Structure 1
Amino acid sequence: MPDDAVLAGLRRHARALVAELAGPVRRVRLSSGQTALEVEWHGTAEQPPAPRAEPAPPREETDRAVVRSPIVGTFYRAPEPGAAPFVAVGDLVRPGQVVGIVEAMKLMNEVTADRAGRVAAVLADDAAPVEYDQPLVALEPA
Protein backbone atom coordinates (compact mmCIF):
# COMPACT_ATOMS: atom_id res chain seq x y z
CA MET A 1 0.00 0.00 0.00
CA PRO A 2 1.33 3.47 -0.78
CA ASP A 3 0.07 4.77 2.59
CA ASP A 4 2.29 2.23 4.41
CA ALA A 5 5.37 3.57 2.62
CA VAL A 6 4.39 7.16 3.40
CA LEU A 7 3.74 6.26 7.05
CA ALA A 8 7.13 4.52 7.29
CA GLY A 9 8.78 7.65 5.90
CA LEU A 10 6.92 9.85 8.40
CA ARG A 11 8.07 7.56 11.24
CA ARG A 12 11.70 7.92 10.10
CA HIS A 13 11.32 11.71 9.96
CA ALA A 14 9.70 11.79 13.42
CA ARG A 15 12.53 9.73 14.95
CA ALA A 16 15.15 11.98 13.35
CA LEU A 17 13.33 15.14 14.47
CA VAL A 18 12.97 13.96 18.08
CA ALA A 19 16.67 12.98 18.15
CA GLU A 20 17.72 16.45 16.96
CA LEU A 21 15.65 18.47 19.44
CA ALA A 22 17.39 19.78 22.55
CA GLY A 23 14.55 19.43 25.05
CA PRO A 24 11.90 16.89 25.95
CA VAL A 25 9.27 16.36 23.28
CA ARG A 26 5.60 16.18 24.27
CA ARG A 27 3.95 15.98 20.86
CA VAL A 28 4.93 15.50 17.20
CA ARG A 29 2.59 15.67 14.21
CA LEU A 30 3.79 15.06 10.67
CA SER A 31 1.66 14.67 7.56
CA SER A 32 2.10 13.94 3.88
CA GLY A 33 -0.95 14.19 1.67
CA GLN A 34 -3.79 12.25 3.31
CA THR A 35 -1.46 10.32 5.65
CA ALA A 36 -0.64 11.75 9.09
CA LEU A 37 1.44 10.56 12.03
CA GLU A 38 0.81 12.04 15.46
CA VAL A 39 2.70 10.97 18.59
CA GLU A 40 2.13 12.37 22.07
CA TRP A 41 3.94 11.44 25.30
CA HIS A 42 2.26 11.82 28.70
CA GLY A 43 4.28 12.02 31.91
CA THR A 44 8.00 11.67 32.33
CA ALA A 45 8.17 7.86 32.19
CA GLU A 46 6.86 7.72 28.61
CA GLN A 47 8.91 10.57 27.19
CA PRO A 48 11.59 9.61 24.67
CA PRO A 49 15.15 9.53 25.94
CA ALA A 50 16.90 12.88 25.98
CA PRO A 51 19.40 13.45 23.18
CA ARG A 52 23.04 12.86 23.99
CA ALA A 53 24.65 15.82 25.69
CA GLU A 54 27.51 17.32 23.75
CA PRO A 55 30.36 19.05 25.53
CA ALA A 56 29.76 22.76 25.93
CA PRO A 57 31.88 24.97 23.68
CA PRO A 58 34.55 26.98 25.44
CA ARG A 59 33.16 30.13 27.00
CA GLU A 60 34.10 33.44 25.47
CA GLU A 61 36.47 35.74 27.29
CA THR A 62 34.61 38.05 29.67
CA ASP A 63 35.54 41.24 27.80
CA ARG A 64 34.07 39.88 24.55
CA ALA A 65 30.44 40.13 23.59
CA VAL A 66 29.02 37.42 21.38
CA VAL A 67 26.40 37.76 18.66
CA ARG A 68 24.33 34.57 18.76
CA SER A 69 22.09 32.82 16.28
CA PRO A 70 18.43 33.76 16.81
CA ILE A 71 17.21 30.53 15.18
CA VAL A 72 18.26 27.09 13.93
CA GLY A 73 19.29 27.23 10.27
CA THR A 74 22.17 27.87 7.90
CA PHE A 75 24.53 30.79 8.58
CA TYR A 76 25.67 32.99 5.71
CA ARG A 77 28.36 35.66 6.06
CA ALA A 78 27.30 37.54 2.90
CA PRO A 79 23.98 38.65 1.40
CA GLU A 80 24.49 36.41 -1.67
CA PRO A 81 27.11 34.03 -3.08
CA GLY A 82 30.20 35.89 -4.28
CA ALA A 83 29.34 39.11 -2.40
CA ALA A 84 31.56 40.67 0.24
CA PRO A 85 30.82 39.44 3.77
CA PHE A 86 28.74 41.64 6.07
CA VAL A 87 31.67 41.87 8.51
CA ALA A 88 35.28 40.70 8.76
CA VAL A 89 37.74 40.43 11.64
CA GLY A 90 38.81 43.95 12.63
CA ASP A 91 35.67 45.71 11.38
CA LEU A 92 33.88 48.13 13.68
CA VAL A 93 30.17 47.43 14.11
CA ARG A 94 27.38 49.50 15.59
CA PRO A 95 24.25 48.33 17.39
CA GLY A 96 21.69 47.03 14.92
CA GLN A 97 24.24 46.41 12.16
CA VAL A 98 23.74 43.18 10.19
CA VAL A 99 26.62 40.75 10.77
CA GLY A 100 25.15 37.73 8.95
CA ILE A 101 22.03 35.87 7.85
CA VAL A 102 20.53 32.64 9.13
CA GLU A 103 18.31 30.88 6.61
CA ALA A 104 15.52 28.79 8.08
CA MET A 105 12.80 27.21 5.95
CA LYS A 106 13.70 29.40 2.96
CA LEU A 107 13.40 32.58 5.06
CA MET A 108 16.43 34.81 5.47
CA ASN A 109 16.73 36.11 9.06
CA GLU A 110 19.16 38.98 9.59
CA VAL A 111 21.54 38.60 12.52
CA THR A 112 22.38 41.97 14.06
CA ALA A 113 24.85 43.17 16.65
CA ASP A 114 23.21 44.29 19.89
CA ARG A 115 26.14 46.55 20.81
CA ALA A 116 29.04 48.40 19.27
CA GLY A 117 32.42 46.75 19.05
CA ARG A 118 35.25 45.46 16.87
CA VAL A 119 34.88 42.02 15.27
CA ALA A 120 37.38 39.78 17.10
CA ALA A 121 36.38 36.52 15.39
CA VAL A 122 33.76 35.01 13.14
CA LEU A 123 32.89 31.82 15.00
CA ALA A 124 30.73 30.05 12.38
CA ASP A 125 31.72 29.05 8.87
CA ASP A 126 29.86 30.38 5.86
CA ALA A 127 26.97 28.13 4.77
CA ALA A 128 27.34 26.07 7.96
CA PRO A 129 24.38 24.73 9.94
CA VAL A 130 23.91 26.56 13.25
CA GLU A 131 21.83 25.95 16.35
CA TYR A 132 19.68 28.37 18.30
CA ASP A 133 21.84 30.60 20.55
CA GLN A 134 25.09 29.41 18.94
CA PRO A 135 27.86 32.05 19.02
CA LEU A 136 28.40 33.44 15.51
CA VAL A 137 30.56 36.56 15.93
CA ALA A 138 32.76 37.66 18.83
CA LEU A 139 33.03 41.41 19.49
CA GLU A 140 35.65 43.25 21.54
CA PRO A 141 34.83 46.60 23.10
CA ALA A 142 35.82 49.44 20.76
Structure 2
Amino acid sequence: MWGVLLYLHVLSAILMGIYLVLPFLVGRVDKLQSGASKVGFLSVLFTTNRVGQFALILAFLTGGYMVGKGSYTVVWMILAVVLFLALAALTGIMGKRMRLAVGEPSGNSVAAQLGSIKTLALINGIVFFLIITLMKFPTLFG
Protein backbone atom coordinates (compact mmCIF):
# COMPACT_ATOMS: atom_id res chain seq x y z
CA MET A 1 0.00 0.00 0.00
CA TRP A 2 2.81 2.41 0.90
CA GLY A 3 4.49 1.88 -2.47
CA VAL A 4 1.30 2.61 -4.40
CA LEU A 5 0.65 5.79 -2.43
CA LEU A 6 4.22 6.95 -2.82
CA TYR A 7 3.99 6.31 -6.57
CA LEU A 8 0.75 8.32 -6.83
CA HIS A 9 2.28 11.08 -4.71
CA VAL A 10 5.37 11.38 -6.90
CA LEU A 11 3.26 11.16 -10.07
CA SER A 12 1.10 14.02 -8.86
CA ALA A 13 4.22 16.06 -8.06
CA ILE A 14 5.46 15.48 -11.59
CA LEU A 15 2.11 16.62 -12.99
CA MET A 16 2.25 19.75 -10.83
CA GLY A 17 5.63 20.54 -12.36
CA ILE A 18 3.71 22.60 -14.90
CA TYR A 19 3.68 25.38 -12.31
CA LEU A 20 7.45 25.74 -12.65
CA VAL A 21 7.13 26.18 -16.43
CA LEU A 22 3.88 28.14 -16.52
CA PRO A 23 5.41 31.61 -15.95
CA PHE A 24 7.55 31.15 -19.05
CA LEU A 25 4.65 29.85 -21.12
CA VAL A 26 2.31 32.66 -20.07
CA GLY A 27 5.02 35.14 -21.04
CA ARG A 28 4.79 33.87 -24.61
CA VAL A 29 1.15 34.88 -25.00
CA ASP A 30 2.15 38.48 -25.83
CA LYS A 31 4.25 37.25 -28.75
CA LEU A 32 1.23 35.77 -30.53
CA GLN A 33 -0.25 37.97 -33.25
CA SER A 34 -3.98 37.31 -33.39
CA GLY A 35 -6.52 37.30 -30.61
CA ALA A 36 -7.75 33.86 -31.62
CA SER A 37 -4.26 32.38 -31.25
CA LYS A 38 -3.93 33.97 -27.81
CA VAL A 39 -7.25 32.47 -26.77
CA GLY A 40 -6.20 29.07 -28.11
CA PHE A 41 -2.88 29.12 -26.28
CA LEU A 42 -4.49 30.29 -23.05
CA SER A 43 -7.07 27.51 -23.41
CA VAL A 44 -4.26 24.96 -23.41
CA LEU A 45 -2.69 26.62 -20.38
CA PHE A 46 -6.09 26.62 -18.66
CA THR A 47 -6.35 22.87 -19.23
CA THR A 48 -2.85 22.28 -17.86
CA ASN A 49 -3.75 24.37 -14.82
CA ARG A 50 -6.81 22.20 -14.27
CA VAL A 51 -4.68 19.03 -14.50
CA GLY A 52 -2.29 20.59 -11.98
CA GLN A 53 -5.19 21.30 -9.63
CA PHE A 54 -6.36 17.68 -9.75
CA ALA A 55 -2.78 16.56 -9.16
CA LEU A 56 -2.62 18.92 -6.19
CA ILE A 57 -5.67 17.24 -4.66
CA LEU A 58 -4.15 13.81 -5.25
CA ALA A 59 -0.86 14.89 -3.68
CA PHE A 60 -2.66 16.36 -0.68
CA LEU A 61 -4.63 13.16 -0.06
CA THR A 62 -1.75 10.74 -0.53
CA GLY A 63 0.61 12.98 1.42
CA GLY A 64 -1.87 13.24 4.26
CA TYR A 65 -1.97 9.48 4.57
CA MET A 66 1.82 9.19 4.44
CA VAL A 67 2.29 11.92 7.05
CA GLY A 68 -0.02 10.01 9.35
CA LYS A 69 2.26 6.97 9.06
CA GLY A 70 5.54 8.91 9.38
CA SER A 71 7.18 11.02 12.02
CA TYR A 72 7.27 14.67 11.02
CA THR A 73 7.45 17.77 13.17
CA VAL A 74 4.42 19.95 13.73
CA VAL A 75 6.19 22.91 12.12
CA TRP A 76 6.78 20.87 8.96
CA MET A 77 3.15 19.72 8.84
CA ILE A 78 1.84 23.26 9.30
CA LEU A 79 4.14 24.60 6.58
CA ALA A 80 3.11 21.81 4.21
CA VAL A 81 -0.61 22.42 4.72
CA VAL A 82 -0.29 26.20 4.44
CA LEU A 83 1.75 25.97 1.23
CA PHE A 84 -0.62 23.43 -0.31
CA LEU A 85 -3.65 25.56 0.54
CA ALA A 86 -1.90 28.66 -0.82
CA LEU A 87 -1.14 26.88 -4.09
CA ALA A 88 -4.72 25.61 -4.32
CA ALA A 89 -6.15 29.09 -3.77
CA LEU A 90 -3.77 30.82 -6.15
CA THR A 91 -4.27 28.27 -8.94
CA GLY A 92 -8.01 28.66 -8.53
CA ILE A 93 -7.76 32.44 -8.84
CA MET A 94 -5.49 32.07 -11.86
CA GLY A 95 -7.93 29.60 -13.41
CA LYS A 96 -10.75 32.10 -13.07
CA ARG A 97 -8.64 34.80 -14.73
CA MET A 98 -7.81 32.39 -17.56
CA ARG A 99 -11.48 31.47 -17.96
CA LEU A 100 -12.37 35.16 -18.21
CA ALA A 101 -9.59 35.75 -20.73
CA VAL A 102 -10.70 32.94 -23.03
CA GLY A 103 -14.37 33.86 -22.68
CA GLU A 104 -14.37 35.87 -25.89
CA PRO A 105 -13.24 33.98 -28.99
CA SER A 106 -11.98 37.24 -30.51
CA GLY A 107 -9.38 37.60 -27.78
CA ASN A 108 -10.34 41.11 -26.70
CA SER A 109 -10.38 40.20 -23.00
CA VAL A 110 -6.94 38.56 -23.01
CA ALA A 111 -5.07 41.83 -22.57
CA ALA A 112 -7.18 42.81 -19.56
CA GLN A 113 -6.42 39.56 -17.70
CA LEU A 114 -2.89 38.81 -18.89
CA GLY A 115 -1.07 40.90 -16.29
CA SER A 116 -2.71 39.19 -13.36
CA ILE A 117 -2.29 35.77 -15.00
CA LYS A 118 1.45 36.40 -15.38
CA THR A 119 1.77 37.51 -11.76
CA LEU A 120 -0.21 34.56 -10.44
CA ALA A 121 1.76 32.12 -12.60
CA LEU A 122 5.01 33.46 -11.14
CA ILE A 123 3.73 33.27 -7.57
CA ASN A 124 2.45 29.73 -8.18
CA GLY A 125 5.85 28.72 -9.49
CA ILE A 126 7.54 30.10 -6.38
CA VAL A 127 5.06 28.41 -4.03
CA PHE A 128 5.46 25.09 -5.84
CA PHE A 129 9.25 25.42 -5.62
CA LEU A 130 8.90 25.97 -1.87
CA ILE A 131 6.68 22.89 -1.61
CA ILE A 132 9.20 20.73 -3.46
CA THR A 133 12.00 22.06 -1.24
CA LEU A 134 9.95 21.38 1.89
CA MET A 135 9.20 17.83 0.77
CA LYS A 136 12.77 17.06 -0.21
CA PHE A 137 14.35 18.43 2.96
CA PRO A 138 11.86 17.90 5.80
CA THR A 139 14.53 17.97 8.52
CA LEU A 140 15.47 21.58 7.70
CA PHE A 141 12.10 22.79 8.92
CA GLY A 142 11.84 21.56 12.42
As a proportion of its length, which structure holds more strand? 1
TM-score by length of 2: 0.23
As a proportion of its length, which structure holds more helix? 2
Q: Determine which structure has more spread, i.e. the larger CA radius of gyration.
A: 1
Larger relative contact order (C-alpha < 8 A, sep ≥ 6)? 2
TM-score by length of 1: 0.23
